[in-house]
């Protein structure tokens, strides 16, 4: 398997593993949607909402995807007929579908994000320091390339810290990797998106981004040479660069947001490396086996490989 042509990403690892433990998955589906990517992924409503939020805040989302709108409320049959008549007559459509409440709240949160960026001195420049792709050879096996897509990097942020001498809380400017998250409820304490219980989150993304930033090879990433300023370089060298998830809700009436930090140390590096090892082993095993199917309704119902015979069996039994 050519791991330079098909690098390991944190999202790929999380397709196979959750907190280091192997998941149930369909190898054929993963191969087509995550590996060679000749079949599009199924995009759920929540995923679409997140991509829309990223587009509003950052000017686009990962892989250059742009979502400028979300599915609107349905028009009545009369309204559709009126629109069809106006279209035939080359007139302006009289009826426009209204936004759903979720979209209204996401747009509100995007405005709040931009206001808070000013407050916290967070720099967001679309197509400059947003959706920054970094490729890093894995030190344990340079034949394996790791790839990361950073929502915002580099940027600083104003944070509070207790002065050990005066015992007072003072503001300090930190250099950070910033990852934007949209969730239904930031107080949720169960499932994979338990931002109300951050200790139980899968931290693979934060750990991989910490590792990638600390091991930049400029010959592989020449676009980073001008972006890594002396201040950012010193933060990396002195182990002061921080990874922050900035989490916003959109399914509650009151707009809320908070920061969740993922820290880095030798133990977390070892956990990341173990997840990479497991992922590589899973990929190589399935490559050897020809990426077989694993037909289950939970996989097949959301799979876009329409000519898969095993999917047909599941759907018709």
Model confidence over 47-68: pLDDT tens digits? 999 999 999 999 988 877 889 9
pLDDT confidence band for 168 (50 / 70 / 90): low
Given CA atoms 101, 51, 226, 276 in this order, what sign does their dihedral have?
A: positive
Classify 306 as helix, strand or coil: coil
Domain span at residue 131? 10-48+126-316
- What pLDDT score was predicted for residue 163? 58
pLDDT confidence band for 314 (50 / 70 / 90): low
Does 90 fall in a domain? no
pLDDT confidence band for 161 (50 / 70 / 90): low
- What pLDDT score was predicted for residue 317? 55
Query: Where are any strands of DSSP class E within 164-207?
Result: 169-183
Does 214 fall in a domain? yes
Residue range 211-217: average pLDDT?
A: 96
**219 pLDDT more than 80:** yes
Does 105 fall in a domain? no
Q: How far apart are CA 162 and CA 159, in angstroms?
A: 10
pTM of the predicted protein model: 0.92
pLDDT confidence band for 313 (50 / 70 / 90): confident
Residue range 111-137: average pLDDT?
A: 96
**29 pLDDT more than 60:** yes
Q: How far apart are CA 302 and CA 70, in angstroms?
A: 19
- What pLDDT score was predicted for residue 1? 83
Query: Where are any strands of DSSP class E within 233-298?
Result: 242-249, 257-262
Residue range 11-16: average pLDDT?
A: 96
- Burial class of 17 by CB neighbour count within 10 A (0 to 12, 13 to 18, 19+): buried
**What is the total count of domains within the chain?**
1
Does 113 fall in a domain? no
Does 79 fall in a domain? no
Q: Which helix (H) or strand (E) holds 58?
A: helix 45-58
pLDDT confidence band for 171 (50 / 70 / 90): confident
Inter-axis angle of helices 45-58 and 101-120, nearest 10: 40
Question: Do residues 282 and 22 lie in contact, with contact meaning Cβ atoms separated by under 8 Å?
Answer: yes
Does 84 fall in a domain? no
Of the candidate ranges 109-118, 232-241, 286-295, 301-310, the one whose mean pLDDT is the lowest: 301-310
Of 44, 51, 57, 173, residue with least CA distance to 108: 57
Find all residues with CB under 8 Å of 219, minimum gap 6, and list them. Answer: none
Does 231 fall in a domain? yes
Does 3 fall in a domain? no
**80 pLDDT more than 60:** yes
pLDDT confidence band for 167 (50 / 70 / 90): low
What's the mean per-residue pLDDT of the chain?
93
Please, what's the largest Cα pairwise distance for the chain? Answer: 76
Preceding peptide of 64 cis, ω within 30°: no
């Amino acid at each position: 398997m050519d791991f330079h042509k098909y690098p390991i990403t944190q999202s790929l690892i999380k397709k196979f593993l959750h907190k280091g433990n192997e998941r149930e998955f369909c190898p054929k589906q993963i191969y087509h949607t995550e590996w060679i990517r000749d079949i599009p992924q199924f995009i759920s409503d929540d995923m679409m909402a997140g991509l829309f939020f990223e587009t509003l805040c950052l000017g686009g989302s990962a892989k250059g995807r742009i979502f400028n709108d979300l599915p609107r409320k349905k028009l009545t049959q009369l309204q559709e007929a009126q629109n069809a008549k106006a279209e035939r007559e080359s007139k302006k459509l009289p009826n426009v579908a209204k936004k759903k409440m979720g979209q209204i709240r996401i747009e509100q949160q995007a405005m709040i994000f931009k206001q808070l960026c000013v407050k916290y001195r967070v720099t967001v420049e679309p197509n400059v320091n947003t959706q920054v792709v970094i490729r890093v050879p894995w030190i344990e096996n340079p034949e394996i390339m790791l790839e990361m897509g950073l929502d915002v990097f580099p940027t600083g942020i104003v944070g509070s810290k207790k002065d050990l001498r005066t015992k007072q809380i003072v503001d300090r400017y930190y250099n950070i990797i910033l990852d934007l998250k949209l969730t239904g409820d930031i107080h949720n304490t169960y499932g994979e998106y338990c931002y109300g219980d951050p200790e139980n989150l899968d931290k693979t993304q934060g750990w991989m981004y910490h590792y990638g930033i600390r091991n930049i090879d400029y010959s592989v990433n020449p676009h980073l040479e001008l972006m890594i300023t002396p201040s950012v370089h010193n933060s990396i060298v002195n182990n002061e660069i921080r990874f922050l998830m900035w989490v916003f809700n959109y399914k509650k009436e009151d707009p809320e947001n908070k920061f969740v930090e993922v820290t880095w140390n030798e133990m977390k590096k070892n956990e990341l490396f173990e997840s990479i090892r497991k992922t590589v082993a899973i990929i190589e095993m399935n490559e050897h086996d020809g990426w077989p199917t694993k037909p289950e309704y939970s996989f097949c119902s959301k799979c876009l490989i329409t000519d898969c015979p095993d999917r047909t069996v599941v759907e018709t039994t």
